[in-house]
Chains A and B, each alone.
Chain A
Amino acid sequence: MKVTLRIQRYNPERDSEPYYQEFIVEAGDEKERILDLLLQVKWKYDGTLTFRRSCAHGVCGSDGMRINGKNRLACSTLLRDVNYKKPIVIEPLPSIPIVKDLIVDMSDFYKKYEAVKPYLINNSPPPEHERYQSNEDAEKLFESAKCILCGCCTTSCPSSWSDENYIGPAALLKAYRFVFDTRDEAADERLDVVDTPDGAWRCHTIFNCVEACPKEINITWHISKLKKRLAEREM
């Protein structure tokens, strides 16, 4: 069957502003990945179409983009997930600078991720064996550790849109990952980073991040746990 992709294009070497271009592609069935349709455009019709991609099954986080108005991974979105009877609109992730076509500048996103000290801090000498942790405590981390840093959440968040200094849901989720790790000793350092107007308190529980997350992480729940921890610390 034929499907139309309406893709936002922008080449900084040529264009003064983004525009849309339509391509008609051939899809085998409803289970075709949007990524494969983009690759079809690139390999068959227009080699200049530019986007990031790598694993093609939702674990590397390269191909976050806006598909029919929702932030998603092109490799985890199938035709049957969208209305393909009409042109499928594909745009770069919103609210961050566009580099070219569907590629955005993620440097600010990574900077905020690094700000929460995303690594275990434990200065006590480690035992000879592993540090013990209950499976329950380990599994509390797994949801947040699932994050693939695709940027779908942060760029879907109205608080991020209106406040460029807001650290954003992805960085807060990473803060949770370490604050709630029973092996970590630096919860306070991280809580200091997020206990600011541009930190956890900027989250107004709009839930856009939850809706956008391709790994189905309940990010807002994790942020609310962080807020609760901050409030308890205040007491």
Chain B
Amino acid sequence: MIKHQYDVVIVGAGGAGLRAALEIPEGFSCAVLSKVFPTRSHTGAAQGGIGASLGNEEEDSWEWHMFDTVKGSDYLGDQDAIEIMAKDAVRAIIELEHMGMPFSRTPEGKIAQRRFGGHTRPENPDDPDSKRVAVKRSCYSADRTGHIMLHTLYENCIKQKVHFFSEYFVTDLVMSGKSCAGVVAMDIATSEIHVFHAKAVMLATGGYGRVFRITSNAHVGTGDGFSFVYNNGLPLQDMEFVQFHPTGLWKLGILISEAARGEGGILLNNKGERFMERYAPTVKDLAPRDMVSRAIITEIREGRGFKGSDGTSYVQLDVSHLPKEVLNDKLPEITGFARTYLGVEPTKEPIPIQPTAHYAMGGIPTTVDAEVTRDKKRTTVTGLYAAGEAACVSVHGSNRLGTNSLLDLIVFGRRGGKAIAKFIKDAEFAPLPEDAAERTIARIDTLMNSKGKEKVGALRTELQEKMMEKVGIFRNEKDLTEMTAEIKSLRERYKEVSIDDKGKVFNTDLMEALELGNLIETAEPIIHGALVRQESRGAHSREDFPNRDDKKWLKHTLIYKTDGKPKIDFKPVSITRFQPKERKY
């Protein structure tokens, strides 16, 4: 075992982790640990853009952005946090530009912006109550915005000489009493265990898409950060809210950005109808993701989907009517995906799509300064921070708007970095417990020596298929109850997992087994949260409780792991400017 001491340890080198690292001042030591080389992080898969009310293309304001985010969240987002994000967005984009990020530009050379789902302005700017129409708010670099942003942040980290530990797989937090004192990690290249003693730890570990069978998420999206927190007796918040992006490539789940619809693409059913006109008469195909995903599944259930040769269903995304320049210059990547993976020529024919598990609205509860909280009174956990998709501030509530995730990363990654920079100036190192790595070592020993009959691949597929079937876009008590039993049994069976690779060098067999443990631990709070919440709000749709119920359920869920059934608690929502209203588009 190797011990290290750093003032700050950041886990995860995607947008949030890198942005936070840039805030750690000279004179303090900071280590960024990532299980993949930083530019392989999943931030790089984001396509369509970053939301900010620059007003470069048409009139816009942060209040409108805030309102859209609140409404998009189905009023579950905390309005104090959303206000901070919407106000800070303009500065954050300008900062990225100054850092060197190449953006698509307007004819005047300003950052170009385009339309995106759920982002609107009043049709008459002088009358805030007038009908809302789509607004150009998404700042973009063709359809590779996440990739370009991730590289820009990494480049700035190189410039600032940030210390990276690439291909280090974090396995646990080190808790010292009620404070966080560091993390335990495995060097993937050697399987050596490292203990990082730190004053402050930030979890910027991304999402859990791989809990589901069809997902836009990378293989690395295994919910690691959620499981660290959950396993250490700290709560997770609003885990029932899972975003299914409406347009994943059929069968593969690969993301086809909302930018395709922002640029004029439309969704079609098997009758050739533009069906979104029926579900969201004003913004149509640019309705928020939860509504579009439900509409697609409804069309399929009512017999208006297309059936593939393998029996699975899809609808179509048509961009073939868009000018060639738009497809080539603004949507080159996604048209390429359609060609490569489905053999479809998007300039001539529609693209088969289906909803795909995309984003965790819930996560590790934090303050607006990324400090992790442990209860409904928002008591902070000394030394522990979280940002990005792993965190739940909550700015996305029950449904995130497109372009708000990249924004979340850079706004709250930075705020977290600043809060840490302030904290470490006076803080002492919490004592490092002798047995910090014990749990990790035991887990690894068990897996390395197990002769059990369960295999990682098969068990994971079972989890993913069941989650898709029972905890997907539409949910009900029967399925969810069954799933609580399933997850218990999967957890038991996980104890019987054995692996083939008994070596020390790059043991990805071991790593996948550890990740499967994290997936199972992350699935439990998703299922239990979904069972408890007896209403439909945002991305959480209960067939047995089809309406939103503000009286009972305008509150956040907090979920704690116990030896038996998880413990549930609730936390009030911050409502400042906008009282809940019916959500129609």
Contact = CB atoms under 8 A, between A and B. Distances in A.
Contacts of B110: 129-130, 132
Given A31-B341, A133-B109, A142-B141, A60 B45 contact: yes
Contacts of A55: 40, 42, 44-45, 218-219
B578 interface: no
Given A11-B503, A133-B105, 16 more contacts: A14-B503, A28-B310, A31-B343, A46-B500, A47-B456, A48-B509, A50-B506, A50-B509, A60-B42, A119-B155, A119-B158, A130-B93, A132-B109, A135-B105, A138-B105, A145-B148
B242 to A, nearest CB: 19
A74 to B, nearest CB: 12
Contacts of A120: 99-100, 155
B501 interface: yes
A50 B102 CA distance: 36
A62 B40 contact: yes
Given A55-B44, A56-B219, A106-B37, A141 B159 contact: no
Interface of B: 36-37, 39-42, 44-45, 93-94, 97-100, 102-112, 141-142, 144, 147-148, 151, 155-156, 158-159, 189, 218-220, 252, 254, 310, 329, 333, 337, 340-343, 455-458, 499-501, 503-509
A59 B509 CA distance: 23
Nearest to A118: B155
A17 interface: no
B493 to A, nearest CB: 16
Contacts of A141: 102
Interface string A102-120: 0100100010001001111
B505 A54 contact: no
B105 A134 contact: yes
B159 A138 contact: no
Contacts of B144: 59, 142, 145-146
A53 interface: yes
> Which range holds the interface residue count of chain A?
35 or more
Interface in A27-72: 28, 31, 33, 39, 42-44, 46-48, 50-62
B505 A43 contact: no
Nearest to A40: B457
A134 to B, nearest CB: 5
Given A99-B189, A149-B39, A132 B108 contact: yes
A11 B505 contact: yes
A183 B109 CA distance: 12
Nearest to A77: B340
Contact of B100 (A44, A60, A119): A119
Interface in A143-201: 145-146, 148-149, 178, 181, 183-184
Contacts of B108: 132
A148 B147 contact: yes
A47 B218 contact: no
Contact of A99 (B98, B158, B343, B506): B506
Given A47-B456, A59-B45, A60-B218, A99 B102 contact: no
Nearest to B343: A31
